[in-house]
Structure formats: C-alpha cells, structure tokens
Structure 1
C-alpha cells in the first residue's frame, strides 16, 4: 500500500487539499533500477580475438573445407572488415591516441594506403594457408615501400628489407603473396599502370625472389653478401645517391635546437627532457644487450635529450615513439646519433600461420630477432626495451635511411626495382636456417616446393589478383563506414 493517501480520501476526512507527493520507490524497484545501471556500467569491451582465430587456423589446417573470412561476402564481410579494423585499433581509439584520426583518414585516401595499414585484415583472409610449404622467418608485411637504404653495423648504407614489426615464422609463400599484391596495387595507384603491366611488375618481383634463392642455394653467401652502392642495380644506385646527406646538415635541418644541446620543438617532435635519466638507463641497457662499445662513431652513449615523435608511418601511425639524441664523439653537435624507441605489438600474422615449433619471441624481442636474422651485419641499435610497462623496439635513425619514391620510377625501373626487392627478400629468408631457428636447408626446400616454378608463379599472381579485388570492395565498405562514424568508438558486449 502507498504511504501517501489519495486526494479523495484527504478531502473526505477534512485534511489538507495540498497535492500529494509521488509515491516512494519500493525497495524492489530500486534494486531493479540499480541492477540495470550495473549491467550498462559493467559492459565488457571486445578485445583481441587472436585466440579465436588461432583455433580457426588449426581447424582449417585439419580440414581445408572450413570457411575462412575470405569466403564471407555482402553485409557479413562488411561487418568483418569493420570489426577487424576496430579490434586492430582498439587501444588507440580508447586512449584517444595522437594520430588515430589521421591514420583512419589516411586509410580512406587511397587503396595502397589501406592495404599498407590493414595487414591484420589481409592476413586473416590467409589463415592456415600453405601448411605444406617450408617455414622461414617471414617479414610479415611485404610491399614496395618496406624496402630501403639503412645503416649496417659499420655505418655503411645497404639496401634491404627494412620493417620487421610483423616478423614471424611462417610459410615463405605468405611474404610472396602479400608482396605480389602490394606491387600490383602500387603499380596501379602510384605508377598508373593497367592490369597487364601490373602483372609484369609482380612477375619480376617473384622472378627476383627465385633468382636470389637459386643464387644463395648455389653459393651460400647469404650471411656475407650485402647490396651496397658499389654492387647494386642501377635503380638502387639512384636510391643510394638520393640518400646521401651529411650528418651535420641532417641534424641541424630537422632535429637540433638553436644551441645544439637538444631537440627542437616542432610538429614532429615534443622534447621531454625531464625523462633523460630514465632513457639514459635504457640506452645503457641496450648497449650491454647488443655489446655496443662506446667508441668510434658511436661515442660514449651519453644521452643529450629525449623527444616524443609524432605522425610517422602508416601501419604504426598513432603508436608511441621516442627519439633519443646521443652525443657524438666530436661533442660539437655535428655527429650526434638518434636512436628510436617505437612501441611494439603482436605480429599481424600471430595465430593465423599454420602451427609450427618455432618461436621468434614476443613483441620487441621478436622484432629484434627479425632484424638480426634478416640482415647480415645490420643496425647495431636494433633491440628491445620496456617503457611504462610496454614493449618497445629500438633502432638507429640515420641521414641515409631512405625509401623509394614510387612516383619517380619509369616503366623499366619499376620492373628492375621489383626484381631487386625480390632478391633481397630471398636473402632474408635464406638466413632463416643459419641465423634463425630452422634446422633444414631453406633454399633447396623452397626451390623444390615450387616446382614447376612457372605454374607456381602464375598461381601466386592469380591469388594476388583475387586479394586485390577483395581489398577494393573492403575499401569501399571502410570509406562508407568511416563517414558514418563507425570507428569513433570500440565495440562492447552488453548483458
């Protein structure tokens, strides 16, 4: 019964005619409302589905008739694209990380950028594929702009694979399939070529790979050869030429403040000098970890300044990065070094490649392992570190670190460049048994596995054509969803 009498009863008894107060909520009603609020409050964020995909990979390997994401069409495919991209960017969205919106807009701007920035989506379509093929330490994200000039252990510019963020043990064919699709998309968007020319360029990439693999199978020089300015093909020689810049000019044009004692504040850099003591310890630890002697061009490993780096990359745009300025041996701001710390994540291929017994390590350690295997005598600053409980990879920034400008390639040089990229990828794979964990002859196994080679090359080309058309449809879905705000917030489970 209500605690407040109805108005009619009040009038009959001669009591006040003032309006009655609304009935108090009963304890059971209160409890129901509280429970409803708790259900909303305790909604569960949808996190990584890595383990679910790992189980699907195992199911596909065991029974190839299992449906995979690439088999989904229509609205179901649209949901898959949306949810995969949201999952891949969940931390950045939830933390409102710097550069997240910029990255989403960048992905919408072109098919090639979408391809570069959605490695997880691409590789989920491949899950469980090629279980019979020889395993290598795969690069994981092969495309025309993940090759370039960088410093080796002697500070000499070399050309090779230069992005190890997704490195993982996987069938060698995974790198070939993504690389072939990447060259076809880039040849279309950056070169303006039709399908026939795209396929010719892609074939050159594959031919370069198998030429390189045959070379290293015969001469066994994968641990000593390097593509330098003196032995590179003409198209790569031009890249070395473009990369030449005096270290002093490079430092003062872009990085140093007016006194040369630290970083210059800019759109790219925000100095955080208050953290110098913290990062000096990280540099000292990296020096011990990599047996870096504080002599010669490296100097004493003395830290001058630290800065946050903003707005770099496509796939990694929005991830935390730090630049450390180390004093050079001359101590006059003309030969300083810059070491980068970049947040490391799981490989996009993790849980998707056929099961095997090889382990490249976790996050930063995995990336450092990738560089040490893929490059003969590579950058001595490649390593791993932990900052604020998160895993980071490390490497040196250098004045001659240079990537190709695809716009400048002629019809002839496109094919020459593709062949050179295939060659250095073959060398990276060939090192998987000597520098990596494999216990069998990688080169001979790969050459045998692809016989007859002409048929295998055409199979990869056709697979890439299908992947490109699928990606084209995915890109349309993505742009429409982005415009409607689909990537403003991550998804949650509601009870």
Structure 2
C-alpha cells in the first residue's frame, strides 16, 4: 500500500503529463465530429417518435443544448491532454445535475443527482463540464464574459479547496462526509436570499410519492390509474405491462435482503411510459405505481433504460459489463447517501434498465431565477459537492497535490469554460440550422 507522501508525489508527477495551465486551452481539432451527427448517432437506437421532443428541448437555448449534448462535450474533452488521475466520473456534471434529495434518515442533502453517464475517467473532465455549464448559464441569464468567468472560477476554486480539505481527512471521515442543507442555509449571508433558499427546500420536502399521487394519477372506475398525458406520460399497453411485472421480480433480486422485504410489502398497481430530461429523451423510461398499507401509502419507482456512457468510446474498458449495474454502482459510490430502492436488471430484448424512486424530496434550482450572487454561491456549492464525490471514488491526495495551493488550475479551467461558451453557441446554431433545413424534426410544445 502506498503512503500519503507517495500518493502526493504521483499527483505532482501528473503535472508533467498535463500541466495545470494547459487546461485553459480550447481549439477544436480539424477532425472534430459534427455535433449534429453525434446527436443523430446517439439517437439511432432510441424511441424514434420521441426524438422531436429531444431536439426541440435542446434547440430552446444554448444552455438547453449543452445540457443534452454530453456526448458532444465528451468528444471534445477526450481530444485534450489529461492528467491520468482517475475517479468515478459523474460523466455529466452539468449545473442542473445537482440538487437536493432525502437520505434514508430523511435528512435533506445536496449532491449530484444524475448518473446515466458515470464512468471511470480523468477527474478534470467532470470539473470542466461543470465550469462550462456555469459559464453558459451566466451568459444565458444576461451576464457578460467577466461574470461568466467569475462564476466558473468560483465553481473550480470550490472544487480545489474541497479536495485539499478532504485530502487531510481520514478514510471514514471522507466516506461519511455530506452537504446537509441545514448547514447550507447558515452559509448564506443575506437574509432575503436565505428565505428564498429555505422556500426552495420546503418545496423539495413536499416532493414525495404522496404528492405525485395527486399529480400523476386519477381514479377511474374506483381504481387508481396513472393519467394519460401523451406523449409525455402514456399508460403502458398490455405487452409492456406484462413485461414490467416480469422484470419487477428480477429487479428485486438486486436489492439488499432487508430492502427486498420492504418492497414485498407493496403491490404493483399501474405503469406508464414517461418522457424525462433533455439528453435522455428517447431512451425507454417507465414509472410504476405501487401501494403499501392502503391507497394513501404510494410508492413511485422509475425504470430507466441504461445505455453506453458517452465516455466509453474515449476511455479504457471499465469494470461494469451491465449498463444498469454501471449506473447503480456509480451512484452508490458518488452520492453521500443512496436511494434505498436503487437496483438494476435486464429487460425485454436484452435491454438494460435501472430502478430508483421517482420522487423522494428531490428538488433543483431554476437557474433563470438566480441573482448574480446566488449563481456564484450555487456554483461554489456544486464544486464542493463534486469534490466530495471524487474524494470518495479517486485518490484525493494525488488530486490535491496535482491542484496545489495556487489557483493556476482554477483560472485555466475558467478560461476554458469561457472559450467553450462560444463553441457551444456554434454547436447550438448547427442544431437549429439542421432543424430549419428539415434534416431534423423538432417539437416545440413539450
């Protein structure tokens, strides 16, 4: 086993492979893939009648495009020199893929909340994805280049200082670390902003299966059923319903024994196909309604198709043979507290799926509503949460040594983020141009 000193030396040695200042560069390569072609290739095996929703949502703005274009950015990151300091990447550490959720102890935590693209890779890829999304968000909300740079810098600095702080802690202290939202409120220096944040958290606490029962279901012939709201929410037909009931048992086997016992106390009531997210639109996704003690004791589970991570074609083969297992294992490793119903299985036609709760006090911010100071604070919070996740899954001592006490890395990645704003805007125009030319069809009403 290597010592802490040896791990730190490994981190410093990585500067020879990729200097900290080198992360500021962004010049698209001559053979850079066409972004529209990347999206079309990714869509080939998706539900074709849902693709116009995906393209419509991505075309709404450069920020929306970036959110759905993880595959495009993965290719760009892969074309750059990297450190070789590997962590379990979120794979899509976009600003909107952070949020609050309930721990099993019913504490409200702030953390990463999307793991569809999780995969082992260089730690800085997540940091650059986060910084770019912060910079694009700042420009989208009317802030100039300097404000975008400052917001991206805030996220990266929080990441670096977070990793360095955790590098000094013991293994169990790092494993048990979390960002508690009660502590979060005490960090907000303005009483008015603190009240706004408290209101958002209170809304998240109400975001439960019981709340979803009233929003997503109705009573038909004395039976509770999921509502029909096509194409976003459509009750499963007989073939899908039969398949879902069958794979429900397979999913159950991936849970811990005590959680299987808990799940057995619920009864399968109904299921529906659901459209979720931006980049995920077109992948197969269902929601299942279960009831426990009575009809007022609901549990909503989401079944989502797991496909190859957008990072896989750019990195060495990872340890997971099953895409659903990859997502579940990545989430369990990166999150401070995992969903107790998280599991995976193989469904019809050999497709991989993973299961999780649909709503468990989950909540996220509306970036458009954030004031400049709030965006800076939120960027710092995301950087801190990302550092905690990476510290669990990678060599935090080596990464901390690579980053160092100076802000060289911070400023370089902030500069990259500002440059990538322009690249993302160009890619967004390519998408809207393809839609205008009839190459792609976009639905603008969903």
User: Secondary structure in 2 aligned to 1:222?
Assistant: helix
User: Secondary structure in 2 aligned to 1:98?
Assistant: helix
Residue 87 of structure 2: aligned partner: 136
User: Secondary structure in 2 aligned to 1:285?
Assistant: helix
User: Secondary structure in 2 aligned to 1:306?
Assistant: strand
Distance in 2 (alpha carbons) for counterparts of 1:243 and 1:322 = 22
- State TM-score, norm by structure 1: 0.75
Residue 461 of structure 1: aligned partner: 414
1:472 to partner: Cα distance: 1.7
User: Secondary structure in 1 aligned to 2:404?
Assistant: coil
Distance in 2 (alpha carbons) for counterparts of 1:224 and 1:241 = 25
1:150 to partner: Cα distance: 2.0
1:448 matches 2:401: yes
Which of the two has greater helix per residue?
2
Distance in 2 (alpha carbons) for counterparts of 1:140 and 1:295 = 30
- Out of 297-306 and 177-186, give the one that drifted further: 297-306
Residue 425 of structure 1: aligned partner: 386
- The match for 1:414 among 375, 386, 389 is 375
Larger radius of gyration: 1
Distance in 1 (alpha carbons) for counterparts of 2:42 and 2:66 = 14
Unaligned regions of 5+ residues in structure 1, if any? 1-60, 434-441, 489-495
User: Secondary structure in 2 aligned to 1:210?
Assistant: helix
User: Secondary structure in 1 aligned to 2:114?
Assistant: coil
Residue 282 of structure 2: aligned partner: 318
- The match for 2:65 among 114, 117, 132 is 114
1:404 matches 2:365: yes
Equivalent residues of 1:136, 1:171 under 8 A apart: yes
Equivalent residues of 1:137, 1:167 under 8 A apart: yes
- Out of 80-89 and 269-278, give the one that drifted further: 269-278
- State TM-score, norm by structure 2: 0.83
- The match for 2:160 among 196, 207, 210 is 210
- The match for 1:70 among 7, 10, 28 is 28
Equivalent residues of 1:205, 1:422 under 8 A apart: yes
Distance in 2 (alpha carbons) for counterparts of 1:391 and 1:174 = 26
Equivalent residues of 1:276, 1:303 under 8 A apart: no
| Aligned-CA RMSD value | 2.7
1:414 to partner: Cα distance: 1.1
Higher relative contact order (CA 8 A, sep 6+): 2
- Out of 419-428 and 150-159, give the one that drifted further: 150-159
User: Secondary structure in 2 aligned to 1:145?
Assistant: helix
Distance in 2 (alpha carbons) for counterparts of 1:248 and 1:451 = 48
1:289 matches 2:289: no
- Out of 424-433 and 231-240, give the one that drifted further: 231-240
Structure 1 segment 34-433 matched on structure 2, within 5 A: 70-72=28-30, 80-92=34-46, 97-127=48-78, 129-189=80-140, 191-220=141-170, 221-233=173-185, 234=188, 237-245=198-206, 247-258=209-220, 259=222, 261-267=224-230, 268-272=232-236, 274=238, 275-291=240-256, 293=258, 300-310=265-275, 312-328=276-292, 330-331=293-294, 333-353=295-315, 355=316, 358-388=318-348, 389-398=350-359, 400-433=361-394
User: Secondary structure in 1 aligned to 2:182?
Assistant: coil
Structure 1 runs (4+) greater than 6 angstroms displaced: none
User: Secondary structure in 2 aligned to 1:338?
Assistant: strand
Equivalent residues of 2:101, 2:109 under 8 A apart: yes
Distance in 2 (alpha carbons) for counterparts of 1:296 and 1:195 = 54
Distance in 2 (alpha carbons) for counterparts of 1:131 and 1:480 = 33
Equivalent residues of 1:283, 1:301 under 8 A apart: no
Equivalent residues of 2:259, 2:340 under 8 A apart: no
User: Secondary structure in 2 aligned to 1:359?
Assistant: coil
Distance in 2 (alpha carbons) for counterparts of 1:474 and 1:102 = 18
Residues 171-203 of structure 1, C-alpha deviations (whole Å, 9 max, x = no match): 1000011110000001111x3211111111111
1:163 to partner: Cα distance: 0.4
Equivalent residues of 1:149, 1:239 under 8 A apart: no
Equivalent residues of 2:209, 2:300 under 8 A apart: no
